Structure 1
Amino acid sequence: MHSLMSLQFEPAWSWIIIVGLFAVAVFVIRSAYPSQIRHLATTRQRLLQLCRLAFLLLLFLVSLRPSISVSNEDQSRSVLYLLADSSRSMQTEDGGGGRTRRAAVAEFSTSLKPLLDTLAEKCEIRLRDFADQIASTESITAAADGKLTAFGQILDLASEEMARDRVAAVLLLSDGRQAAFGDLDSDPAAAARRLGRQQRPIYSVGYGGIEAGGSQLDLSLEELDLSREVFQGNALPVRVRLKSTGAGGKPVTLRLLLENRNGVPEGKSGNLEPAAAVDSAKPVLQVTPGSDADEQTVQLQLVPEQTGDLKLAVEAEALPGEARRTNNRVETIIRVRRGGIRVACFDIIRTEQKWLRKINDSSRIQLDFQAIRTGALSSRAQIPDRFFEPGRYDAFIIGDVPASAFRPDQLQALARCCSRGAGLMMIGGRRNFGEGGYGQTVLASLLPVELPAVNPQTSGPRKMLPSRDGLSHFVMQIAAPDQNRQRWEQVPPLTGANNLQLRNNSLAQILAVSEDGLPLLIGQGTGPGRVLAFAGDTTWQWAMQGFEEEHARFWRQVIFWLTRKETDDSQAVWIQASPRDLSPGMPTELTFGARDPQGQPLTDLQFQVEVVNPAGKASSLIPRSLGDSSAAEFLETLLPGDYWARVRALRDGQPFGNIGVTRFHVLQRDPELDDPAADFALLREISHASGGEFLSEDQLREKLQSWVEQGLPGLSVRRQEQISLWDNWGTLLLLTAILTTEWTLRRRSGLA
């Protein structure tokens, strides 16, 4: 190490101004000051003039702002790093000439050996393989078996290894494919910037193609879209994104698989079996991609019959010659609950049934609509017999449909369903009730109203309001109890209504009336079943005029009441996971709590939560309160497979209620090979963030050659230190001392 010192000046103004001012000041002191002190002794005069000139000289030096510059030149040995990607994406055979990317890296590093050997005379060469960890190696081979690529972590680990070493440069040979998750998925650019601040530039070279697998045959399923909660017996639509490469014109079969948990204990996974193909299900579908790079959304449908947490999968059958198959299946967990409601609705095509069908947005209710043709097409209105199979439907709604649209045996079957507990509702129309001929059918005894043959529908607005009994009835609760009547008064009126008259000696309840007291909604029990007669058929106007929530709530509660599902039979202690299907390393949030028999949350309990991973390892979690419920985050999701979460509730140290159980699923994915497309943009960002460059193989070879000829960057480091001679305490104290001395002399001489 060599040191060099020099004196430097940085004048506050130009030299001419400073020297001029100093000369003027000296002239004034030499000419004017002696006359003021000539009566003093000669020694005292000289001391005072000396103090004044010393102060002036010090000010002159301060205005020049002098400093000492100390330069140190460090020529100690530096280090050159070569990092070679050894992750599995480097196995992709698009490195040119049929080689893998890793083989191309190995061949290139071998060609650099003469240059590296020459540079080794001036610096240390360190070869490192990397994937999710960094490892020292003697040579770069064609082997690549790393499961993940975590650039952010690799650069941080390399920085730790470098410690205080003087690193001339880092050479990075990779495809730029970042495949990391969880804690490993740190920002590569941020790590590169940290290296840049340490004067450690990264020079990267990219390998591979930017298209995933090029034209290699591959089917991939992504973006599984479905309701994660469904009721037993209801149809569940399942949408999935199919990406196909190299499969243009080839038929692709997709099928739904559902877990069979019969005889399988809790904590164990059942076998996935093809979903049953029932009338309303479509568990298998065949599509044909239109091109070799095709994407399309495919919809399938199943009807789950088992209840509980069930694993569901969508699978694309592998095509002949398809090498990568881990992305041919996506899986999730659905919760199938008891108490799903299936409703059959018979009506003409009109606005009311269009809005009524929106009730299918609820995962609990499935409304199957059967359109009834009228006029010249009425002879074709064949109603399938499956609608009247015992137990198939929980409730029936008859709209503007005459009794003649049903065969007599179908009406008999419908009546038998009602006698076994199914609900029945007839809504307003011009061709139903008595006008539709129902007074002469088996349904007449079920309906709570008179059914005269001539009973036309009236026109004009009819405001629907709760009756005295209806104000507190479940069906009529569209707002909080203290706001319920006010909300009904705000709802738009119906346009027309049937004239309903309560049947003589009926025990039915009038639940809603018009402003002039005419019945609009009448309900009664018929043994195990329930029946409603509704005079209106224009509730769709509520939704169109800003009361969509009230419209939906009214119809949901109508169906819940008809099917005796207005009470919730959920378990006291519950737990949910969100999301329920995740990629390896993604966290999931567990939410849990407890409720009393009325469904109100219990907040005086303590919870114990544990998660068992696919290997059988149990992990306890620490709950945090969310008010009415609690939550805990689970992070250890590296293993693919099923995870079981259990929550126990304690009150005063004693167990309370049931043990809540749920399940979530970590997908079986290969993050390196599912999408092995090279990412040169990331390599370019890493290089630029560190102060380096993104290069081709030839450009890197030329740069190494220049380093051989001209020396490595940073081989000789010059450090410079500035020592100020004026901006310090010493100068201030010296100025103060001179002024104090002059003042003391003047005071003693009687001049102060």
Structure 2
Amino acid sequence: MNSFHIEPIYDSSLVALAASVVIVAVLILVTPPTEDPQKRRWLMLLRAIAGLVLVVAMFRPGVVRTDTRAAEATLVVAIDVSRSMTLPDDEKSDRWTHQKQAWQSLAEGLEPLADSMNVRLLSYGKTTAELPNPTPATLDIVVPDGELTDLAAAATGAIAIAQGQPLAGVVMMGDGTQTAPIQGNGAERVAQTLKAWGVPLWSVPIGPASGPSANRDAAIDALPESYQLFAGNQFEVSFQVPLRGLAGISVPVQITWIDENGKATLAAQRRVLSETANSVGDVSIPLIAPAPGTYRLNVEVETQAGELVTTNNLQTAFVNVREGGGRILYIEGESLYEQRFLRMALRRFPDLDLTYQWIPRDTASRWPVDLGDWFEKGRFDIYIIGDVDADAIGREQLAELAETVGAGAGLITLGGYHTYGAGGYASSPLADVISIRMDPSRRRDINSEIQPNTPDQIAGPISVQPARRHPVTDLGGADPVRVWKTLPRLLGANRFVGPKVAPGVQVLLETTDGAPLLVVGEFGRGRTVASAFDSTWQWWREGKSEAHRRFWRQVVLWLLSREEDSTEQINLELDARRFAVDADVGFRATLTSIAENQSIDFVAEILDESNTITPVTDLADTSEGNSQTVTGKIPKLIPGYYRLRVGPRDTASKLNSENLAFQVVDQSREMTMPMADPVYLRQLADITAEHGGGSFSYEQIDDLIERIAKRRKQAEAPVVEKFTLGDDPLTGWILFALFATALIIEWTLRRRWGFA
């Protein structure tokens, strides 16, 4: 509505009227001094124009316009850009597609309100960010890759983005599932703030709610990360199958071997039946270890109809299959240092299984001890007889042991006061098996007092030297003799009568004056080792643990006919073999050398399945004695299978690189919590219901637009606009220009015509 008004000078119409009368009187009474009527009319006209401008300027006429419209405000639309929006919404499309459709419809529907409402678009995940210049097509270039969802951050960001301008409302789209840690009262506190301000919150839930069909999930869990196996051995694969929403359904599970070349071989199949809506099935399946090599063992449950998350349907274990393991029976009569350190050394190797049996001398009244089936063929691969009397085992069991060694088992006899001839073995069934000659006259009574300086003993300290080159005594280095000279001397040893003269019998270690200390031989298809000493624990105690470990391992492997290359090896370890993308995982590569103060420049690399190399930087190198350790961190990698390779930088080095496979898995909370929470979004919107807040599905955007328009209509208020002539620079200058122009022209004409 428009109306006319005047605002005279000094707010007085009388003053303006009086001034106008004076102006008119001057125009009438003061006439131009000429008798020419035409010239008189022109001059009077110009004076009249100037006078009229003055009269108008004194009365200041204007127009008042009264209108009703909403004051300008900001509408904030928050859209969810977390990874869970890539999950299915229904059978036709995913959540992100439906959210884009909802935004497009909303943006187009709000265009008629653009004059009074500024739309701001906010993306939220773990953090928030404004999307500039929002259009219906803005989300076409946005990627939902957020690792967490923080609804409180979204609501807080919506308030902050308005930047002091009145809020017309907040529209929050998304699946409503809070995956980020909640700080304080979360989104509810922000909704209460909006309520206090009279600002409505409108939610648009997207995604299926929990329910019998939408909550379906089958997974594999609790599978060990790795196995160390021996070829041909049976082992148990144990894991769990959590099932949700699959009551009464038999779910297939299969186990597959994946070799180094990527070839898959089906190992086993089972079916797991869930009798309740939520169950966890414990499954244990016996398998036979394949040929030696490295494998991935995949355990997978078949994807079920309606499953939203399938990344948990498969778990992988890393398997190292060795060429047959060694089962060792160690029988000892003296619980002294040697047995303790020997057991500790052999148990460090995953391919050796050690069983220990102590037969104390104070049990002699109950000898022989019944050892059950331990001496049966195939029960153990190697037998170690320590300082134990032959009567403690008994002739029958020793005879069975002799047959087992002849059939292919290995035998180690150690030094001591009750071994060999002194222990009664010269007259036992093992006399033909042991590779040295024994004197029955040296038999020592079990209860007799031990004299250290006896003819069958060599008094210490004793220096040991190799008698010949052999895999058992090759401890590495260019000069094995020099390595043996660095080892601590032994405390004493048995004095052998001498080695047997037979094929395969060899003296490998001897004293500096030629007395045999270690004699190897063969019996049937088995191998034997006769050791005169029992104080190699001294090596460990004096910092030569690697030499101790390698020596006894090489003895065992020679008995198994599996001579090991004496080349030094890197021991590579990972904190975990299967870990999440964001996990902080370290590794250690340890090289323990016989030679001290040896330093290797190591390099570490990550290889993916296509053998693309990613170098590992920031390695930490520490050395202590003859041990060198390199540590580092696995860099951030995308989900997949990888190999960690650590080796010498010098490619000409004899030291081989070591590889260790691992898996990076996607364990994002966004992807493991697939259910939407529309109820929570509805509750947030209902907090502001008294101000028009509410919840709408993505298919009800038209209703939401109507609600927003109605809300803006309710916010309309009378707006009065007043226009007064001369108040603004434009009209003021126009009046001045008319007045000045009229007077200038009038003065110019008077001069031209010669008037005073």
Q: Taking structure 2 as the reference length, what is the TM-score of the superposition?
A: 0.50
CA change 1:530–1:444 in 2 (3 A) is same
Superposition deviation, residue 315 in structure 1 = 0.7
Q: Which residue of 2 aligns with 1:441?
A: 429
Q: Which residue of 2 aligns with 1:70?
A: none
> 1: distance between equivalents of 2:211 and 2:113?
36
Asked whether 1:245 is paired with 2:234, we answer no
Q: Which residue of 1 aligns with 2:402?
A: 411
Asked whether 1:563 is paired with 2:556, we answer yes
Q: Which residue of 76, 79, 83 maps to 1:80?
A: 76
How does 1:53-72 map onto structure 2 within 5 Å? none
How does 1:10-409 map onto structure 2 within 5 Å? 77-84=73-80, 87-88=83-84, 91=87, 122-126=116-120, 138=136, 146=144, 149-151=147-149, 165-166=163-164, 168=167, 171-175=171-175, 177=177, 216-222=216-222, 224-226=224-226, 240-246=239-245, 257-261=256-260, 269-273=261-265, 292-295=277-280, 310-318=294-302, 323=307, 325-333=310-318, 342-345=326-329, 362-367=348-353, 369=355, 381=373, 385-387=377-379, 393=381, 401-405=393-397
Does the 8 Å contact 1:217/1:321 carry over to 2? no
Superposition deviation, residue 529 in structure 1 = 4.0
Deviations 1:485-511 (A, max 9, x none): 99x9xxxxxxxxxxx986634699999
Asked whether 1:504 is paired with 2:497, we answer yes
For 2:302, give the aligned amino acid: A
Q: Which residue of 2 aligns with 1:660?
A: 657
Q: Which residue of 2 aligns with 1:627?
A: 622
Asked whether 1:675 is paired with 2:672, we answer yes
CA change 1:77–1:703 in 2 (3 A) is closer
Superposition deviation, residue 330 in structure 1 = 1.7
Deviations 1:393-437 (A, max 9, x none): 3555698644524775x733413536xxx3434799999999998
Superposition deviation, residue 150 in structure 1 = 3.8
Does the 8 Å contact 1:402/1:438 carry over to 2? no
Deviations 1:541-591 (A, max 9, x none): xxxxxx99x9x9999788526316899845577866554433345465465
SS at match of 1:221: coil
Greater CA deviation, 591-600 or 609-618?
591-600
> 2: distance between equivalents of 1:355 and 1:209?
62
SS at match of 1:367: strand
SS at match of 2:408: helix
Deviations 1:513-545 (A, max 9, x none): xxxxxxxxx964336642358999xx9xxxxxx
Deviations 1:302-339 (A, max 9, x none): 7767666x24224144387684654232225455678x
> 1: distance between equivalents of 2:276 and 2:416?
52
Superposition deviation, residue 366 in structure 1 = 2.6
Q: Which residue of 2 aligns with 1:543?
A: none
Does the 8 Å contact 1:245/1:294 carry over to 2? yes
> 1: distance between equivalents of 2:529 and 2:420?
19
Does the 8 Å contact 1:129/1:137 carry over to 2? no
- Percent identity among equivalent residues? 10
CA change 1:532–1:329 in 2 (3 A) is farther
> 1: distance between equivalents of 2:211 and 2:604?
44
Deviations 1:445-488 (A, max 9, x none): 4176667999764499999x99625787999xxxxx999899x9
Deviations 1:585-641 (A, max 9, x none): 5465465587767476415x4x55544434554444434443345455443411423
> 2: distance between equivalents of 1:239 and 1:331?
12
Asked whether 1:613 is paired with 2:608, we answer yes
> 2: distance between equivalents of 1:209 and 1:378?
67
Q: Which residue of 2 aligns with 1:531?
A: 530
- Give the aligned length: 556
CA change 1:569–1:440 in 2 (3 A) is closer
Larger radius of gyration: 2
For 1:293, give the aligned amino acid: N
> 2: distance between equivalents of 1:509 and 1:597?
19
CA change 1:557–1:176 in 2 (3 A) is farther
Does the 8 Å contact 1:213/1:677 carry over to 2? no
> 2: distance between equivalents of 1:366 and 1:299?
24
For 1:622, give the aligned amino acid: T
> 2: distance between equivalents of 1:359 and 1:609?
28
SS at match of 2:520: strand
> 2: distance between equivalents of 1:243 and 1:334?
24
> 2: distance between equivalents of 1:121 and 1:164?
17
CA change 1:461–1:124 in 2 (3 A) is farther
Unaligned ranges ≥5, structure 2 = 1-70, 359-365, 467-471, 473-484, 501-506, 511-516, 624-628, 695-706, 717-756
CA change 1:679–1:569 in 2 (3 A) is farther
Greater CA deviation, 579-588 or 426-435?
426-435
> 1: distance between equivalents of 2:570 and 2:369?
55
Does the 8 Å contact 1:613/1:639 carry over to 2? no
Q: Which residue of 574, 578, 583 maps to 1:581?
A: 578
CA change 1:459–1:407 in 2 (3 A) is closer
CA change 1:594–1:560 in 2 (3 A) is closer
SS at match of 2:302: coil
CA change 1:380–1:337 in 2 (3 A) is closer
CA change 1:241–1:438 in 2 (3 A) is farther
Does the 8 Å contact 1:575/1:647 carry over to 2? no
Does the 8 Å contact 2:223/2:239 carry over to 1? yes
Q: Which residue of 2 aligns with 1:15?
A: none
Q: Which residue of 2 aligns with 1:58?
A: none
Deviations 1:90-149 (A, max 9, x none): 746799xx99977998999999999989987753234567779987673999xx995664
CA change 1:294–1:411 in 2 (3 A) is farther
For 2:403, give the aligned amino acid: Q
> 1: distance between equivalents of 2:375 and 2:147?
60
> 2: distance between equivalents of 1:289 and 1:453?
71
Q: Which residue of 2 aligns with 1:698?
A: 686
> 1: distance between equivalents of 2:212 and 2:444?
70
Q: Which residue of 2 aligns with 1:641?
A: 641
Does the 8 Å contact 1:580/1:588 carry over to 2? no
Greater CA deviation, 105-114 or 624-633?
105-114
CA change 1:446–1:585 in 2 (3 A) is same
SS at match of 1:626: strand
SS at match of 1:417: coil
For 1:342, give the aligned amino acid: G
For 2:117, give the aligned amino acid: C
Does the 8 Å contact 2:218/2:243 carry over to 1? yes
SS at match of 1:638: coil
Q: Taking structure 1 as the reference length, what is the TM-score of the superposition?
A: 0.50
SS at match of 1:468: strand
Greater CA deviation, 428-437 or 694-703?
428-437
